[in-house]
Structure 1
Amino acid sequence: MAEGVANDRYVFWLGSGISRERMPDLKSLAKRILISLQGQIEQSNPHCRFRAALDSVIGHAGPSADECNSIDYSTSPESWAVFEALAGRLVNNYARMLGVTVDGEEADYLLWDVLNAAAVYSDPAILPDAEHLCLAALAMEGAASEMPSANWDSLVEKAIEILAGGRPIQRVAIAPGDTRAGRRRTNLYKFHGCARSALEDPAQFRPLLVARQNQINGWVASNPVMASVLINLIVTKPTLMLGLSAQDSNIQSLFASAQVQMPWHYPTHPPAYAFAENAVGGDQESLLQNVYHQEFNAGTRASIRTDALVQAFAKPLLLALLLFVLTEKLRHLVREGFPAIQEVDRAKLAEGLGNGRNLVAANVTSSADDVMSLITKIGRTMTMLREGALPNAASGLYSPVSAEPLELMTANPNLAAGGIAEFAVALSLVGLGLDRGLWAVGPNTSAPDPGAFGLVGRSGAAKIFFAGDHRAAIRLTTNGLLADNDDAVVVHSQSNPVPMHRSPRRPPGRTGLALVREVSVEELLAEGTEVEDLLERFRNKVAL
């Protein structure tokens, strides 16, 4: 499955689970509706419209006779003994709950007025979580070009705005006409509407907020353009569901319709359907039955469930996929950039990259802060490699290894000339040295001018810079990122440029060793590609 993601084979179907730590969950919404309706009841009026609406909402929770007798409409629901139980049951009946109408009010009164969903789900103060940041980075790497989303929030869009800046990376389709806009590197289909758009232009986008049961049941018939786009995605690319239970009837209908047009057969590689869950849920199993029909039988049922289950939730899974994609791209650059390297040596270099990846994975959590820090460091490293500068908000904080999926990298003529293949070799050697105890990861020197990362060897600590070409190398100095008496190593992809005078930034430190050491991967490879010898020569040059 991870290889499929690296090659942009999967459609990422997004549900509320990826925003659960940023946006109100369905149980919280149910509680707010119960409290709001009760608070507006005219206690002296047995025919009060809010009483009638509250009756309907509670009815969708299926209370027992004893539970009904315990409910007192004259007191706040928070004091009811069954309050938590009712709210919990309404989670799986959220569309029916939101479909309850109040006499004299618009059909979407509960969503628009009681929950204030447009404002709540578009709150500019709410920042993207780890899932949204990883999706944005994967999209920029060309590995997540199609993302249908049932979510009203704009956290994926916001994450891409942070990482890509003003670059035209993303197309967002909400209304039917949006599908006519030119495709971009990633395409987000908000088929249940968008809170931010509804708040900004309620006349056009308020009706597109899908929440009520009747809207869901009639969605396919009422949205033929978007439905046909999504069905085409299901037919042509495998499905990866992230935080999406697939309980809504319109989603089930889309997959059933796609199966009629051109079914996926079991088994497929990569798996045609994958769910990031602890277990395959009832609605997801129903979906598998719809798409596989007779192939979902007594002999295959267990193995289909097993193949479809990715037993990790979206937060750790997306971080793992991002690390996998980056590592495989770097391995591809080593493999395709230097065909003269023998297979046994190429395998060692690939192992070095894997060591580095695993070290990163062991020292980063899937918290938003850690993920943002990691992505920012990657963006800083790649921007210094290419530009000899630090990234900025206008151009985005992230710079991908390549803008295309793994299998299309060979067709990019700019990769060969950008020094990135040599950069991949250098990272491979660093990873091998880490595994063999030649050096360890150490703290960078203090901001504002850290290198890509810090290493500590027997001779002390140093920050590591990478320069893809002579222009980037020169700009590391002219931009003030590198000074003469920095404890630093500059790893050049090309031949070493003529040394430039750099102004010191601090009093001299240790003596007897040139503080800024420079090594050329191009020159190292010209002297020989046998990895053990290459690593020893690299080690001598970096002098750690």
Structure 2
Amino acid sequence: MLEGFEHGFSEFAASFTAGDYVLWLGSGISRDVVPNVQELLVRVLEMLRTNIDYANPACPYSAALKEALVLAGLSQGDIDAIDLAVPVESWADRGGITWRLTSRYAEVLDIPVSGQPSDYLVWSGLDVPGTYGDPALEPDVEHLCIALLILEGVVGSAVTANWDGLIEQALAALTNEPDAIIRVIVRGEDFRQRNRRAELIKFHGCAVRARDDEATYRALLIARQQQISGWTERNENGVMRKHLELLYTDSPSLVVGLSVQDANMHTMIARSIEDLPRPWPHAPPAVVLSEEQLQAHHRHLLQMTYGSAEYETHAAEINDSAVLGSYAKPTLLALLFWTLTDKLLAVLSCLPGNSSWSGTETERLRLDLRQLRDNVAEHAEPANRAFLFQLVDLSILMLGIFRTGRAPASGAAYEPLSDRPIRDALQSPDFPGAAFGRLAVAISLLGRGHSDGDWTLLPGTTGAAEEGVLRLVAPPSAPTPREVRVFLVKDTHAAIALTMDGLADEDDPSTLIVLTEREPTPVVRSPRPRYGRVGSTGAGRVSIEDLYEAADSADDLYATFKLAGGL
């Protein structure tokens, strides 16, 4: 996927990191956490079956079950052949029945059960509080990536048809004050909340709120056919509908895990582009789909967005511009890698000018950052959730020690490189662009050594800051096996804190302290030259600012970095 962002989808990737895209999210992002549609249909059918009163020929549960089976295409003979004494899971054609009902899911949930509320099959059949509102549910990779992209400031609006609270939980796991980051909108009244960094619009309702306040939020759970068909016409949905239409009109859309088949979405999209259709060609693409291949309902979406005439003329080009070729998990992981790397690439422009350097030399630093990104991304599978948590822990540790020289407290919040798109952040005089630029240089040099085989770059040990932020392991061909603990700090104040807290030992030759800012003139107590060890048996100590200003080229910088660090 990263290769696609470099080439065919480069305009999309650049625009995404600029914060231009709205996320439209659906059940595909939660498929590994909550039951899929077929499992839920089994649950609904089983509830109806187990409640049948065989002594009552007019049993409402029996009638509802029969109606569902008719929707599945079964004849009366087929229905009579089913042994209702046997659980649905054991029915011979259970898979075929639920598969055929999947596309008619909303119709099944709209089947009335006499004597019960109209949403009975939704609330009780699906067990909304215990299924989607279960507090024991844990966010998956998709939810964590979305939360991280929100914290990094590149996602300002996310629209979801999902009922679960997994994105909110992901934010709560990453930051101590999620309510200060995002406003969650379920009702029109919620738009009156004070603006936050981002908004999460749950236009089909929220199971967590319905669990905690059934009287207010249960009726807002949208799943039944009549609810979906009439959603855009109901007055109480007017504010929500207008806001969604404005988002679709004003911003390009990234659709992730969402089939875009519901009638209310089609109506909303059609209305949103009546007065301002998207022209073709359009850069960046107006709609990008996190899908492996185009489906019929996707074509309909693209046709509505660009207009029938434009789509008929340019269908192949529009389709190619829209389909990423990957589903939610790899797409969102790739976007996270891309965003973090893009920020490091951008802050390189903040480095003070070096008259000896050309654009080609800086491009070599960028090349090594991209190569490191790709090397790291190769380890994301198969245990991608554990990998992502390790990446988050490493980021918290690295930036915590970089800024202060002290290990972050247990449960420390995730700190983004910038809380807005990086090119916006660079416009602020308070943003430490030069410091982050030198940090990017240090990471680039460490990544180059890994790519060149001079060492293997590994993360520090989780929960043991004294083991280093990063570790450099000598290659098998090295004369002696060796491992170096690396600490990246902003300045001498952070370096002093690092040693005072006992995280790094200045007398330990297996320690390397990399300062991004200039080293002060050495005093008698510490006669070591500013470029590093140079024969000393103590810890290595390197200043990126000093090395960068003295280097004639990227190759010279790398060679001096290795020498100064005793690597």
Is the 8 Å Cα contact of residues 165 and 393 (structure 1) preserved in structure 2? no
> In 2 relative to 1, CA 443–467 (structure 1 residues): closer, same or farther, beyond 3 Å?
closer
Q: Residue 549 of structure 2 corresponds to which residue in structure 1? A: 526
TM-score with structure 2 setting the length: 0.89
| Structure 2 residue 287 is the aligned partner of structure 1 residue 273 | yes
Q: Which of 172, 179, 195 lines up with 1:161 in the alignment?
A: 172
What code does the residue aligned with 1:413 have? P
CA distance in 1, matches of 2:239, 2:472: 54
Range with bigger deviation, 468-477 or 98-107 = 468-477
Q: Which of 459, 464, 480 lines up with 2:486 in the alignment?
A: 464
Is the 8 Å Cα contact of residues 447 and 457 (structure 2) preserved in structure 1? no
Q: Which of 85, 88, 94 lines up with 1:77 in the alignment?
A: 88
| Structure 2 residue 404 is the aligned partner of structure 1 residue 382 | no
Residue 273 (structure 1) shift: 0.5
Is the 8 Å Cα contact of residues 166 and 395 (structure 1) preserved in structure 2? no
SS in 2 for 1:466: strand
Query: Any idea what the Cα deviations from partners look like across 1:363-412, whole Å, max 9, x if unmatched?
Result: 2226211111112212221222113233346641x221111113313213
What code does the residue aligned with 1:475 have? A
CA distance in 1, matches of 2:555, 2:33: 49
Q: Which of 229, 248, 257 lines up with 1:217 in the alignment?
A: 229
CA distance in 1, matches of 2:19, 2:406: 30
> In 2 relative to 1, CA 339–229 (structure 1 residues): closer, same or farther, beyond 3 Å?
farther
Matches within 5 A, 1:229-244: 229-244=243-258
> In 2 relative to 1, CA 447–173 (structure 1 residues): closer, same or farther, beyond 3 Å?
closer
What code does the residue aligned with 1:257 have? R
| Structure 2 residue 115 is the aligned partner of structure 1 residue 104 | yes
Is the 8 Å Cα contact of residues 152 and 193 (structure 1) preserved in structure 2? yes
Q: Which of 202, 210, 213 lines up with 2:214 in the alignment?
A: 202
What code does the residue aligned with 1:11 have? V
Is the 8 Å Cα contact of residues 495 and 515 (structure 2) preserved in structure 1? yes
> In 2 relative to 1, CA 65–390 (structure 1 residues): closer, same or farther, beyond 3 Å?
farther
> In 2 relative to 1, CA 387–220 (structure 1 residues): closer, same or farther, beyond 3 Å?
farther
Q: Residue 386 of structure 2 corresponds to which residue in structure 1? A: 369
Q: Residue 399 of structure 1 corresponds to which residue in structure 2? A: 415
Residue 418 (structure 1) shift: 6.9
SS in 1 for 2:364: helix
> In 2 relative to 1, CA 126–491 (structure 1 residues): closer, same or farther, beyond 3 Å?
same
What code does the residue aligned with 1:324 have? W
SS in 1 for 2:163: coil
Q: Residue 303 of structure 2 corresponds to which residue in structure 1? A: 289
Residue 475 (structure 1) shift: 2.5
| Structure 2 residue 526 is the aligned partner of structure 1 residue 538 | no
Q: Which of 152, 163, 171 lines up with 2:163 in the alignment?
A: 152
SS in 2 for 1:246: coil
SS in 1 for 2:201: strand
| Structure 2 residue 334 is the aligned partner of structure 1 residue 334 | no
Unmatched runs of 5 consecutive residues or more in structure 2: 1-11, 524-534
SS in 2 for 1:261: coil
> In 2 relative to 1, CA 126–219 (structure 1 residues): closer, same or farther, beyond 3 Å?
same
| Structure 2 residue 498 is the aligned partner of structure 1 residue 476 | yes
SS in 2 for 1:123: coil
**Count of aligned positions:** 532
Q: Residue 492 of structure 1 corresponds to which residue in structure 2? A: 515
CA distance in 1, matches of 2:311, 2:461: 61
Query: Any idea what the Cα deviations from partners look like across 1:396-449, whole Å, max 9, x if unmatched?
Result: 1x2211111133132132333672111011111122222222222246468522
Q: Which of 143, 147, 161 lines up with 2:154 in the alignment?
A: 143
SS in 1 for 2:158: strand
What code does the residue aligned with 2:562 have? R
Q: Residue 134 of structure 2 corresponds to which residue in structure 1? A: 123
CA distance in 1, matches of 2:462, 2:124: 50
Range with bigger deviation, 264-273 or 76-85 = 76-85
CA distance in 1, matches of 2:203, 2:522: 57
Residue 451 (structure 1) shift: 2.1
Query: Any idea what the Cα deviations from partners look like across 1:486-524, whole Å, max 9, x if unmatched?
Result: 522111111236899xxxxxxxxxxx8534211111111
Matches within 5 A, 1:38-117: 38-64=49-75, 67-117=78-128
